[in-house]
Every structure is written in C-alpha cells, then in structure tokens.
Amino acid sequence: MRSLLDLPVSLERHSPVPLSAQLAGWLRRAMLAGTLAPGERLPSSRGLAGQLGVSRTVITEAYQQLYAEGWLEGRHGSGTFVAGLEDAPPGTPGAGSGQFPPGTPAIRSDQPPPGTLAARSGQARTGAPGARSDRGPRPVADPSPAPSPAVSSAPGPGTAAPAPARAPGRSLRGAPARGPGPAPRAAIDLRPGKPWVRDYDAAAWKRAWRRAADLPPGDSPDPYGLPRLRELLAGHLRRARAVAVGPENILVTRGTGNGLDLCALALLGPGTRAGVEDPGYHVARTVFAARGAEVVPCPVDEDGVVSDGLPGDLRLLYTTPAHQYPLGGRLPIPRRERLLAWARRTGAMIVEDDYDAEFRYDVAPLPALYGLDPSRVVLLGTLSKTLAPDVGVGWLVGPPELVDRIADLRRAVADRTSGPVQQAVVTLLERGDLDRHLRRMRLEYARRRAVVVEILGPVCRLRGDTAGLHVLAELPPDTIGRVVERAAERGVLLDAPERHWRRPGAPLGLVIGYGSASLPDVRRACRVVAELITETG
C-alpha cells in the first residue's frame, strides 16, 4: 500500500483551520485529481497519525467527515477505501491537477457538512462524489485480518422479501458480476418503515449469538425481560434520549406492535375510547380496535397532533411527537406542554411511539414527552429501525406501578420476549456494538436523505426531512395514483398513502422511505419519481 507520505501532504499547525479539516480538504483534492484512485486503500488512522505526527483523533475525524460526504467507504476487516467518484464539474478545486503545493491546507469552501441547509438544497453536492457501493453503508474501519461480513437481506415482518437491489454489472459484494451482461435490475423499494439491513458488523453479530448460545434454555421467562438488558436499556435511553429511567421503569417487548398491545391490554377494553393520530400508524388503530376500544381519529397538522379540541373522554392517546408518522412534523415544546396538561386534566395516558427518534439531521432532538411527565406517558421504543425488524426486541417505559400491572397481565396471557434474543442484544449493548452501528447508520441515512431532498425538492414540497427514514412529498390528490402506478411500471415501489388516513379526505401526498434501498438506488429511483411528478403535474 502506498503511503500518503509519498505525496506532499502538509498540515499547517498554526492555521485557524482545524488539522482534521485541513487533511480532509487535501484528501478531497487528491481524489478529484486522481492522485488517489477509486478503490485505493488509505492507511489506518493509527498508522497515518504516526506518519504525520498528529493525534489519531485528527485522522479519524477527517475520515469520518469524508465517509459521510461519500468520498470514502469502509469495509469491515479490510480498511478505508476511496469510493468511486462521479465526474467533477469544471473548476472544482484540485480537479485536473495532480500537484498539491506544500503548505496548502485550504479546504473546499463550497462543501458544507452533510445535513446542513446547503446540503439539503443540493449545493453541497457540487463536485462531490456519490459512493458507488451497492452494499450501502460501510463503516470507516482500520485494516485488520478479519473476514468481510456476510450480506443480509432479511425482509421486515409482514412483507415479501424483495430481491436484493444492486448496481448494474456488480455483485452484492462489489466484485464485477460474471456472465455475458449485467444482471436484470430488481425493483427499488421506496416504501416507508424498513431500515437498511444488508450491511452490518458480522463479527459483532456472530459474537452476540455465540454468547446467547452459551446460556441454557430457560423454563420460566421473566415477563419484565432480562434484568441485565433492562439495566443496559436504561443507560441507552439516558444517552440517546436524555430520559432518566431505571430498570424498574422498563419492560422488554417484542417491538412496537407488542408494546401497543400490552398497553391496550392494561388500559383499554370494551366501551373505552382510544385516540390515534389521523393520518397515523394504521397498526395502532388495528391493535386498539382488536382490544374492544372505539378508535377516535385525532387531527394533526404539520407540527404533529393538535391538542386543542381533543375529546375529554379518551382513555389513551397514541402519538408520534418526535417525527409524526407519516407527515414528519416534530411537536414543539409549548404544544407538548399543552398536550400533557390535557392528559393530567382528563386522566388519559399518552402512548409515545419513539420509533425513529435516533435519526436526526438538521436539528437536535426535542425532549421526549415521557421525560416531561413520566406519570402520564408510556414511551415505546424498538430496535426495528436501528438494527433490524427481524431481531424482535423493543421496550416499554412507564411508571413502575403500570409496568408491574402490565407484567402481571403478560404472565397471565403467556406473552414473552425470547430469552436468547435478549441475551444477544445484551452483548451488543455491553460491547458498544449497537452504539457504533447507530452512529454509522446516522451518517448513511443522512447521505440518502440529502439525495432525496436534492432530487425531489425542486419538483414538490417535502415534509419531515429533518429526521427519520421517510419524507412526505406533497402532490395534488389526483396525481398520486398515477405516479404510484407508473413508478411501479418503471421498477420503483411506492407506498399507497390511503392506509394512513382514516377520516374522509384526500391524502396530501406520497410517503417516500429511503431506508431499505442503497444510496445509488435511492438516487436512481428519485430521478424516476421526479420525472413522473413533472410529467403528471
């Protein structure tokens, strides 16, 4: 492997520009000029830090920034590599020149970090490469002899397994596809609710399941969940959502649907009324109705549920304040306070679904409703979006007396969360593997979200693009069906928006998910959708 010291790298220690930004700028110019070619492996962060006489943090920060922008790709156990580059526009700094004068630490002033307003408008893409990896996210990693991870294509529950999306002429592992020509292109799935599961830390995954297999089978599952997992989840919630909880507040579920059903079992029944956001999560309506409750549609606006005018006889209200599903709003603090005041006044419990609150791009997360009033809120979370739907682990956070009641009811109906699965999650949390995966996915989803905004933003208004794994593309009601149908004909699967609305009225637009398709496929599919919107508008 060629050392970067073979090239004239120069960092100015007295410059107001941080060393990591200087190095990132130098590497950008080298990649644009072809001095560092696509597929070339970079030195490890430790090795390069020693060569340049700087701290390892300088190198890792530069690598992470370039990975987020799409210039680099990491491969588990192999190292950090230059990604395939798109053609640079004329005049891009460093383009067309392989020479870098010593002592030039300047970085590209037109390249803001991903997730900024400039990136959302497409300005940050000027001259920036898109990663040409058909496997999606890869962490920036130091070289090691560990084998490359296997590719997983597990579908989410209740969905057909789509054929793995791939770039033309490439295999799933990124090697050239064999055969007389490129393989037929599979449909690209832009339906919401599914994360990317085809790339993960295989060593961490296998280690977690080996630890789980060391435990003997249990004959008396704890309805609360494994004590160790509850302790670790309490720490995770304190770090990720600034929610101060202890194990006594947590019950381990099989996911959001199971958590909703347990809440309904404890709080609802024939003759009760349960409010659900409209438009909103259709599973919540189904679960509450199955427990005998009358489901009451509760209106939302672009910020979230409208607390003014909520009925006073609701036993329970289901809401998604961090990223309203599907409109994408985030409930402001004053409205959160009014909603909690309504709950205290009427005696209702609020069920807060925190389904994708870990993924935020332009804004900091608002405090969870639970943290503002733990006595009136049940907080639901899941690993379905952060890890994979197939794991089947989530959590329910509430007042200890309510958690005890739910545990008793759960024992009575023989409901349980798999012990070995819980133990595997314990290992992922104890070793920090889940946190590292979450950090990687934040960067990866930010790149995909930037592509969606860049391509669809000029042809329609987008809602909910500051967080989560989906956006709402506002369209005239009479064009939505035609766009969905014609997109399917061109190999792009879009959501049928009618399922989110209960009250009469036309849907506001298309709910577009960017979690389960690779970055190149998201780009390709969004171009198709943009063309169709323009044609039918």
pLDDT above 80 for 467:
yes
Query: Distances in Å between the alpha carbon of 316 and those of 65, 215, 271, 458?
Result: 44, 39, 13, 40
Whether the bond into 180 is cis, omega within 30 of 0: no
Query: Distances in Å between the alpha carbon of 332 and those of 80, 302, 365?
Result: 40, 11, 11
Q: Dihedral, CA atoms, 477, 483, 485, 489, nearest 10 degrees?
A: 180
Check residue 383 and give its pLDDT. 94
| 465, HSE (Cβ side, Cα atoms, 13 Å) | 25
Joined together, the tokens standing for residue 140 give 């920036």
- Please give the average per-residue pLDDT across 14-19, as a whole number: 86
- Please give the average per-residue pLDDT across 369-375, as a whole number: 93
For CATH 3.90.1150.10, the residue range(s) in the chain are 188-199+440-536
pLDDT above 50 for 444:
yes
Phi-psi region of 242 (alpha: psi -120 to 50; beta: other; left: phi over 0): left
Separation of alpha carbons 434 and 395, rounded Å: 15
Residue 421, classed as helix, strand or coil, is helix
For CATH 1.10.10.10, the residue range(s) in the chain are 4-125
Residue 99, classed as helix, strand or coil, is coil
pLDDT above 90 for 521:
yes
- Please give the average per-residue pLDDT across 492-497, as a whole number: 88
Check residue 107 and give its pLDDT. 31
Per-chain mean pLDDT for the chain = 79
pTM to 2 decimals? Answer: 0.67
**The residue type at 306:** V
Q: Which CATH class is domain 188-199+440-536?
A: alpha beta
Secondary structure (DSSP) of 233-277: HHHHHHHHH-----GGGEEEESSHHHHHHHHHHHH--TT-EEEEE
Q: What is the pLDDT of residues 331-357, one digit of tens each?
A: 998 999 999 999 999 999 999 999 888
For CATH 3.40.640.10, the residue range(s) in the chain are 204-434
**The residue type at 203:** A
Q: What is the pLDDT of residues 308-324, one digit of tens each?
A: 889 999 999 999 999 99
Joined together, the tokens standing for residue 259 give 């958590």
The rounded radius of gyration (Å) of the Cα atoms in the chain is 24
Joined together, the tokens standing for residue 355 give 């389904």
Contacts of 314 (CB under 8 A, 6+ apart): 273, 274, 275, 296, 346, 348
- Per the model's pLDDT, the better-predicted residue between 138 and 434 turns out to be 434
**What CATH topology corresponds to 4-125?**
Arc Repressor Mutant, subunit A (1.10.10)
Q: Confirm or reject CATH 3.40.640.10 for domain 204-434, answering yes or no.
A: yes
pLDDT above 70 for 101:
no
Separation of alpha carbons 119 and 102, rounded Å: 30
Separation of alpha carbons 312 and 519, rounded Å: 46
